Chain A
Amino acid sequence: MDQVEERVPGVDALGGRLLADGPMVVCRGLLDDPSTWRFSANAERVLGWPVASPDGLATWLERMHPDDRGGFEDALARVLSGKADRAELHFRLRQADGDYRWIWTLMRTEQDDATGQRYMVGFDLDVTDRMLAEERARRQNQELERRVRDRATELENANATLRAVLEGIADPVYVKDADGRYVLVNSAAAGSVGLRPEEYVGRTDHELFPADVAGHLRADDREVTASGGPRRFRETIDTPEGPRVYQAVKAPWRDAAGQVLGVVGVSRDVTEQERVEAERRRLLERLHDVQEDERRHIAIDLHDGPVQGLAMLGYKLARARVLLEAGATEPAVALVGECEADVAGEVEALRRTLRDLRPLVLDQHGLEVALHDHAHGVRERAGLASCRVTARLGGRRLDPSTETALFRVAQQALANVAHHAGATSAEVLLERSAAGEVLLRVVDDGCGFDPSHVHTAGQAGAPRAAAAGFGLTAMRERAEAIGGRLTIRTAPGKGTTVEVVVPGDPPPPGARP
């Protein structure tokens, strides 16, 4: 290349001056002769080095950033060879201080119509600032995108965690907006009305529940948002499986600024819990009734027996004293002898009361002995021809609560035999099956009864025996309390069989069934 000229051929003087002061370097020369290529006067200022030496093109290429050199050479070759009539590209050009500057270049060919000569025209512009700005913008963009990506991942993770927490809670959890529209629910909430969470979200209580239920739920929500704090509610909701009772804790749903957006809530299904609690209360009440009933019987026994008996003894002894004071020894001695017999009778009556209260023989010698003793007493008192006990536990003791329960059932069954059955004989069987079940059976040959006519609970005006259900309820409860099953087989004139089967632990190896 030649010296830089003030003027690029073909460019007028004004244009030349504009070029010299402007940022754009222009180069022109014959296409097929790079030695004719001339640069505008601003070339050194703009490009940072004098375009002077004949081997300028080589120097130019040498100064180019190695990564950009190939692209430039290709573009130049395509234009010079006529394969392309223009090429535009960016490259980096090393400066004297070693820094690179970004140059934009446009090469194109021109034809002088008059001479037919073909020219090469080049335009160069220092675009370092723009490129840097673009690079900065690009980097910023990338950073922004990265952040957005990170944030999105973060949100996804947070969402997954929230979902996991929600799904990990077995109780229905839900979020409603200010209009009462469900925004978020877990499977437990949706499942409670037979829906999937995605079917639940977007609906309101009025779309999901009957009007009165929805009205209550919304009233609770309004109370929460009005109060600004968590509240507890008892809510009843109809489900495909019937009404369920929920213990709900609801709190306002707020955004980061504290603005109330709606309501969040957790509703625990307490239907079963309440049922169990009611059952527990009923049983407790029943237990108290039974206890009072037993106490009443004991009180009556003591009142009718020992109290009267002792008063009687007092009168006899007083009379004996009067007789002795009068010197009538013989009748006095007879009277005192009578008192001895009375005392023995009273002791026996007291013993009977105590035995009914708690047969100590049951604790100390077990169910078999207690049953034998009790049956013996019943036979004597009720005047039965026989009251046989067949016990086949091999002397082995049962669990104390099982022994007590079975004894009470037998006691009640035999009391019925004695007082209601009009039986001549009764039989008690106690045995253990191969499976370890314990069986107690009390059979009598009495009048029997129609089970459908026996009330299991007291009824006003019913005869006493019927009102107490012959103690059938108490017997059944005794049996069930130890996991057993009570069955009664009877019919008018056919006698009665009371049977309890209690699941037990298997007998020890080698034990006879």
Chain B
Amino acid sequence: MSRLPPRPRVLLADDHSGLRWALRGLLEETGFEVVGESGDGADAVALARLLQPDIVVIDVRMPVLNGLDAAKLIKDQRPATQVVVLSAFESPELERQAREAGAFAYLDKGTMADRVRRVLLGAAVQAVLDAHPLPPDEPGPQPAPERRETS
């Protein structure tokens, strides 16, 4: 993982500052670069446009703009950015809506930290692929297996 240059750039959006801080610590310790933090959905959209991160980790229930609407806007303004929705709700319907909004993955907050990290690595790979699409005659790599893990 540490061979992946450069470190994937992550934007964290959650209104729980303690959780944001903990996640930041974990990600920075494990090969990611947290380029920004946001406490509400609208701010997250603005930061994503400004910072153009590889990954946005976003909570569903947030002030001003909820995570799902924010995800859609983030994908619209830069499709290569991968949105990982991190929610306190374990809900198949919310997961479906998140995917519809273009999210790379939907994780509930009970998910083990290791798995969160692996999903984010998958998202990082996808972000690189989406940012540099291969010519059509060359077969591209299979979609990241992490993507299926979340369903």
What is the interface of chain A, defined by CB distance below 8 A to chain B? 303-304, 307-319, 322-323, 335, 342
Contact = CB atoms under 8 A, between A and B. Distances in A.
A318 B120 CA distance: 15
Contact of B18 (A317, A318, A342): A342
Contacts of A307: 88, 109
B88 A313 contact: no
Contacts of B116: 315
Nearest to B109: A311
B88 A303 contact: yes
B30 interface: yes
12 contacts: A303-B88, A308-B88, A311-B110, A312-B22, A318-B113, A318-B114, A319-B22, A319-B26, A319-B29, A319-B30, A322-B26, A342-B18
Interface in B73-92: 88
B18 A308 contact: yes
Given A318-B113, A318-B114, A308 B26 contact: no
B23 interface: yes
Contacts of B110: 311
- Interface residue SS majority, chain B: helix
Contacts of A313: 22
A316 B88 contact: no
Contacts of B96: none
Interface of B: 16, 18-19, 21-23, 25-26, 29-30, 61, 88, 109-110, 112-114, 116-117
| Closest CB pairs A-B (n = 5) | A318-B113, A311-B109, A315-B22, A312-B19, A319-B26
B121 to A, nearest CB: 14
B12 to A, nearest CB: 11
A304 B18 CA distance: 12
Nearest to B113: A318
Among B22, B29, B61, which residue has the most Cβ atoms of chain A within 10 A?
A: B22
A319 B24 CA distance: 10
Contacts of B30: 319, 322
Nearest to A338: B22
A313 B25 CA distance: 11
Contacts of B26: 315-316, 318-319, 322
B127 to A, nearest CB: 21
Nearest to A313: B22
A301 to B, nearest CB: 12
Contact of A323 (B16, B18, B29, B109): B29
B112 A314 contact: yes
A249 B21 CA distance: 74
B25 A308 contact: no
B21 to A, nearest CB: 8
Nearest to A311: B109
Contacts of B18: 308-309, 312, 342
Contacts of A312: 16, 18-19, 21-23
Contacts of A309: 18-19
Given A316-B26, A317-B113, 11 more contacts: A307-B109, A308-B19, A308-B88, A309-B19, A311-B19, A314-B112, A318-B113, A319-B113, A322-B26, A322-B29, A323-B29
A390 to B, nearest CB: 38
Given A307-B109, A308-B88, A311-B110, A316 B29 contact: no
A323 B110 CA distance: 22
Nearest to B59: A308
Contacts of A335: 25
A319 B112 contact: no
A146 to B, nearest CB: 93
B49 to A, nearest CB: 27
B16 A308 contact: yes
A311 B114 CA distance: 13
Contacts of B29: 319, 322-323
A299 to B, nearest CB: 10
A315 B16 contact: no
Among B21, B26, B114, which residue has the most Cβ atoms of chain A within 10 A?
A: B26
A317 B26 CA distance: 9
B146 to A, nearest CB: 17
A199 to B, nearest CB: 70
A308 B113 contact: no
Contacts of B61: 303
Contacts of A317: 113
A170 B88 CA distance: 63
A468 to B, nearest CB: 20
A313 to B, nearest CB: 7
A318 B111 CA distance: 12
Contact of B113 (A303, A304, A314): A314
A315 B88 CA distance: 14
A418 B96 CA distance: 40
Contact of A316 (B25, B109, B112): B25
Contacts of A319: 22, 25-26, 29-30, 113
A311 B88 CA distance: 9
A22 B117 CA distance: 150
A315 B25 contact: yes
Nearest to B19: A312
A322 B23 CA distance: 13
Nearest to A326: B29
Contacts of B112: 314, 318
Contacts of A304: 16
A310 B110 CA distance: 8
B109 A308 contact: yes
